[in-house]
Amino acid sequence: MEPYNFKYEVYYRSIRYPRLEFRTGRLFLILPFGYKPELILNKHNSWIVKKISFIEDCLSNAEGKDLIERTTETFKELTFSLAKELTHEMKVEINNIYFRKMRTKWASLSILKDLTANISMKYLPEYLIEYVIFHEVVHVFERKHNRKFWEIISQKYKDYPKFEKEMFAYWFKISEILD
């Protein structure tokens, strides 16, 4: 019998510390062998409930989102153009831009300043593609998603939490068509 008001899956691995992961709206408990799920569920129950509420809100918002139909080539051209504009504006350089299917994120920036963009971004409105690229270029200045990072983001996107939430809604919407 499940004592919690949410579903989760448990995976045991040869790891030292337990962790919680939300992937495309599903909760996974990754636990060391012999670890009782209740320990981590009780400890993080309020965070889990808050996160589930956020996800449910995003899923609801996803229903009203329209996906953009653009070719991969058009998406790549747009990405190169936006990256050029943003790096010029921010007075930084990135080395290369790569495109591939990514399972858990919209984009990433390597320590070598190579930007990798999730090909699924082609379905996003242009303003969100710009936001993702800006977000990644900010990592040139600040590697982690800490207070300083979000201060830099807020200089251009004062309402960045709205953008972040919209990105989640689109993630769910796009996942529906690609799965």
To the nearest whole percent, how much of the chain has pLDDT over 70?
A: 97
Whether 128 contacts 78, CB under 8 Å: no
pLDDT tens for 115-166 read 999 999 999 999 999 999 999 999 999 999 999 999 999 999 999 999 999 9
Give the whole-angstrom CA distance, residue 125 versus residue 81.
15
0.85 exceeded by pTM: no
Topology, domain 72-178? Zincin-like (3.30.2010)
Domain residue spans in the chain?
A: 9-62, 72-178
pLDDT in tens, 44-102: 989 998 888 888 888 888 888 889 999 999 999 999 999 999 999 999 999 999 999 99
pLDDT tens by residue, 4-22: 678 899 999 999 999 999 8
Whole-Å CA distances, 147 to 46, 142, 168, 178 = 23, 10, 21, 34
Nearest C-alpha neighbor of 95 from the set 107, 81, 110, 85? 110
Give the mean pLDDT of 12-37.
91
